[in-house]
Amino acid sequence: MSEKLRITPLHSLHIERGAKIVPFAGYEMALQYKLGVKKEHLHCRAKAGLFDVSHMGQMRLSGENAAKALEALAPVDIIDLPVAKQRYAFFTNEQGGINDDFMVANFDDHLFMVVNAACKQADIDHIKTHIPEDVTLEVIEDRALLALQGPKALDVLSALNSSVVNMVFMDSFKLNLLDVECYISRSGYTGEDGFEISVPNDLAEKLARELLKHKDVELIGLGARDSLRLESGLCLYGKDIDKTTTPVEASLLWGISKVRLESNERAGGFIGSDIILEQIKTKNVLRKRIGLVGDTKAPVREGVKLFDGENNEVGIVTSGVFGPTKGMPVAMAYINSALAVIGEKIFAEVRGKKLPMTIEKMPFVSQKYFRG
């Protein structure tokens, strides 16, 4: 018997707004609304989109040695993470693979973490297994998570609390919205400027409705969330990165803090560090994550095999859509490292035809994060 799907605090709002509901990571989630995926995508790029991402895991890590404990699990500088700042990170395993990617913010008396929904319980178990007794993990069950994304996001949110105008990319503040304390970061997974808002469950629908009163805000579903993040060159865990891909293969070296690299003061010390640091040093990996754009209008989907000009199989697509902003098919893939060169022609096998694609630097559309 399959496990009953959970719902988020905004479920009734999704139904009211005509959402197409699908199962996702153990939840009933909105795939799209009446606008449809393409129009939702373009609306977020032009104005502001409101996403319900309450299915994701939220947790607090506290104790004097919390930062040190988390550094043992991720190749990121947590000890020197400034108060009110957030950082992208990932858990690594003994083989150098990625168990999950997550966001971590320093709220002074604790670290606030947001992890992927499908990995939530595995992450909880992983952390509990490795942290010392003087560090406490608290799983947060009483807060929803909303993302307000797009060029109009600042105008919309500042009407509820003007302090957000002082935030820059990756700031993470505790601020009141509708007289209730929320955890707000200036970040998101669309490539646009925007905010993620952790809000008490009992206020979530009220806050969402207040934001939706603004003429520039539309609800956006999982479909457009996927196309937005892919155009912006952002990995989806379980597709573009997983337990078998190392950060080097995944082209995520920017996510490893300098202080954790060889010859620095806190080099290594995280799970799988020997393998990862050796790959960085030698640059010896068989495959690399790359971006592809189609030379035709036909979309190239996940699982499509890739070939070189001599009909040798050289890789596989991990994510693919027709990019509404880009105006052409875009995809992420892993290919033989020797071919991972910008401008190289690769051929995707779709329904028996070899469709030409070109390796292009990601992101496919420019990111709009506000860095001040």
**Which CATH number goes with the domain that contains 278?**
2.40.30.110
Is residue 218 domain-shared with residue 298, that is, in the same domain? no
- 335 is a domain residue: yes
Could you say which of 173, 201, 232 is where a domain stops? Answer: 232
With CA atoms as reference, report the closest residue to 27 among 101, 116, 149.
116
Beta-carbon count within 10 A of 360 CB:
19
**Can you name the residues that pair with 172 across neighbouring β-strands?**
185
DSSP 233-255: T---BTTTB-TT--TTTTT-GGG
Is residue 87 domain-shared with residue 184, that is, in the same domain? yes
Is residue 86 domain-shared with residue 194, that is, in the same domain? yes
CB 119 within 8 A of CB 65: no
What is the SS3 assignment for 140? strand
- 242 is a domain residue: no
Is residue 196 domain-shared with residue 330, that is, in the same domain? no
CA distance 216 to 44: 9
- 370 is a domain residue: no
- 237 is a domain residue: no
From residue 96, alpha-carbon distances to 62, 249, 314 in Å are: 26, 10, 23
Is residue 79 domain-shared with residue 110, that is, in the same domain? yes
- 245 is a domain residue: no
Could you say which of 232, 264, 281 is where a domain stops? Answer: 232
**Torsion sign over Cα 227, 228, 233, 237:** negative
CATH number of the CATH domain containing 76: 3.30.1360.120
CB 326 within 8 A of CB 295: no
Is residue 173 domain-shared with residue 260, that is, in the same domain? no
CB 155 within 8 A of CB 211: no
- 193 is a domain residue: yes
CB 340 within 8 A of CB 288: yes
The structure's pTM equals 0.96
With CA atoms as reference, report the closest residue to 295 among 345, 338, 342, 334.
345
**Can you name the residues that pair with 197 across neighbouring β-strands?**
146, 184
CA distance 297 to 142: 45
Supply φ then ψ for residue 85, to 5 degrees. Answer: -120, 150
- Looking at the chain, list the stretches that DSSP marks H as alpha helix, in order from N- to C-terminal side: 11-16, 37-46, 66-71, 120-130, 153-158, 201-212, 222-231, 273-282
Could you say which of 177, 200, 232 is where a domain stops? Answer: 232
pLDDT computed for residue 1 by the predictor: 44
β-pair type (48-52, 217-219):
parallel
- 266 is a domain residue: yes
β-pair type (313-323, 328-336):
antiparallel
pLDDT computed for residue 151 by the predictor: 98
Is residue 291 domain-shared with residue 218, that is, in the same domain? no
β-pair type (287-294, 57-62):
unpaired
Q: Specify the number of domains making up the chain.
A: 2
With CA atoms as reference, report the closest residue to 192 among 319, 43, 328, 327.
43
- 7 is a domain residue: yes
Is residue 228 domain-shared with residue 274, that is, in the same domain? no
Is residue 49 domain-shared with residue 164, that is, in the same domain? yes
Is residue 279 domain-shared with residue 224, that is, in the same domain? no
Is residue 101 domain-shared with residue 227, that is, in the same domain? yes
Is residue 316 domain-shared with residue 218, that is, in the same domain? no
Beta-carbon count within 10 A of 71 CB:
23
- List the pLDDT tens digit at each of the 372 positions of the chain: 467 999 999 999 999 999 999 999 999 999 999 999 999 999 999 999 999 999 999 999 999 999 999 999 999 999 999 999 999 999 999 999 999 999 999 999 999 999 999 999 999 999 999 999 999 999 999 999 999 999 999 999 999 999 999 999 999 999 999 999 999 999 999 999 999 999 999 999 999 999 999 999 999 999 999 999 999 999 999 999 999 999 999 999 999 999 999 989 899 999 999 999 999 999 999 999 999 999 999 999 999 999 999 999 999 999 999 999 999 999 999 999 999 999 999 999 999 999 999 999 999 999 999 999
Quick one: tokens of 368?
């709009």
Structural domain for 138, as ranges:
1-232
